[in-house]
Copies of this chain bind each other. A is one copy, B any other.
Amino acid sequence: RYSTHSRGGVSGMEEILSRVVAPLPSYETRDKSPPPPETNSLEFMYFYKSLDKEDKLCFLTKLSQDFGVDHKSVSELALKLLDTQLRDLATILLAEDRLRYTLTPRYKQLFSHISRVEGGVKFLVDLRADVLEIISSKASDSPHIRDLNGALKSLLSEWFSVGLLRLERITWQSPCEILQKISQYEAVHPVRNWTDLKRRVGPYRRCYAFTHAAMPGEPLVVLHVALTEDISDNIQSIVREFATLDSDEDVNKINSAIFYSISSTQAGLQGVELGNVLIKRVVRELQSEFPVMAQFSSLSPIPGFSAWLQGLLSQCRKEGRAFDLLSEEEWKEIQHATDSTPGTPTVDSLRKLLSSNEWMRSERLCGVLEPVLMRLCAWYLYGEKRRGYALNPVANFHLQNGATMWRLNWHADTSPRGVANSCGIMVNYRYFLNETSKNSARYLQNKVIAASDQVLGFVSQFQKASKL
């Protein structure tokens, strides 16, 4: 419908932008201005979608630079504000309000209008995904792009506030379209086929998603729950076991809710926290379905542990500090168990060993490695930080939510992926419901991690063993 925009690259962009992005009305007439015609928004969307990656960068750069804030007006109003400081409050408040209004980027208005047309909100979510990709890939270091990102995030935060989200339980009765998306979005434990999927929405399982009125049929964040007797210590029993596929749930066997996968589906909603709210809502939902349910816990992967460990070993070897990590006996046992060729430093043998998943098949090696890897992993989760918060993103997520780092589980994910990522170790972040608020506040404000005795025990073993 929007005829050929073949009016050559940059000038075409400029033409579109100057036509479509309306100037900010004057402060006085801001409530009197007619909204621009809907076709403006549609044209912008259509044009943007037709661009390739490179042109998008160029276009967004233009948009953010030339259609943002009018710096001159801002500084004038800032000056005026300072001049009013000794006057009455009404005058000050008015000056502030004018300043606030003038600090609105021109493109923010456009985004508001876009949000009103069909598919507009989804378009903006995807637009922000592009902006984030530009920033993280360092394709641009323009501060304007960063401002654009901020404006988008603040709008999306308003629209995706919880009052507008709808909790949906996904079952085998749900539309195929949604189930297919659930399957595609599952990032933690990939769905292999439709039987696998059917299992994940069948008896002894729950699958919940948030959807949004402006993006119907699109799950925004998905939480998979297993209903079990005890808190699960491995993922195989959850995603590989099909015995119960056709059975009816026996309520008496359900004491625990295990969150074994949570996936955000919209890159563009980064920083708009939905996952934590989803967990809270689901806990309430489960409590109303199972009034006596008392145990809520995640069974979480530990992405990055293996990589971190390899890095650590490599560094220790370089610095000749291998004994800081493992005791002499431990190194010896490893040497024995690996039959490493004489002359090879054991650190290298160990690194090589861990780079494949062969060792999992040897009971002896497993026996030797378990205590070592468990205490190293505990340290990785508990002790490694980034700006004071847990380095591991999954840990950081659950700790922010107020969970307790509760139990490390050996042989918990024996899939090739699980072994490669975290030597097969998984961790339960447990939600003690009457402690989560307190835990969350202490973590976010004071960076204190709530952890169980098991975890703290491993951490202290690590600290004794190493002089790190």
Contact = CB atoms under 8 A, between A and B. Distances in A.
B161 A164 contact: no
B163 A172 contact: no
Interface string A124-157: 0000000000000000000110110010000100
Given A82-B78, A99-B78, A441-B34, A177 B172 contact: yes
Contact of A112 (B118, B158, B277): B158
Interface in A203-224: 213-214, 217
A interface, size bucket? 35 or more
Interface stretch (A87-95, A348-356, A360-368): A87-95
Interface string A353-397: 000000000000000000000000000000000000000000000
A440 interface: yes
A271 interface: yes
Interface string A112-125: 10011110110000
B79 A82 contact: yes
A277 to B, nearest CB: 8
Number of copies: 4
A175 B177 contact: no
Contact of A176 (B100, B161, B163, B175): B175
A277 B115 CA distance: 14
A205 to B, nearest CB: 14
A334 interface: no
A120 B78 contact: no
A75 interface: yes
Nearest to A276: B35
A32 interface: yes
A43 interface: no
A97 interface: yes
A214 B177 CA distance: 25
A163 B93 contact: no
Contacts of A400: 34
Contacts of A69: 96
Given A116-B161, A164-B213, 6 more contacts: A93-B144, A100-B100, A159-B159, A172-B176, A173-B176, A176-B179
10 contacts: A79-B82, A89-B144, A90-B143, A116-B162, A116-B163, A159-B159, A159-B163, A173-B176, A176-B176, A180-B194
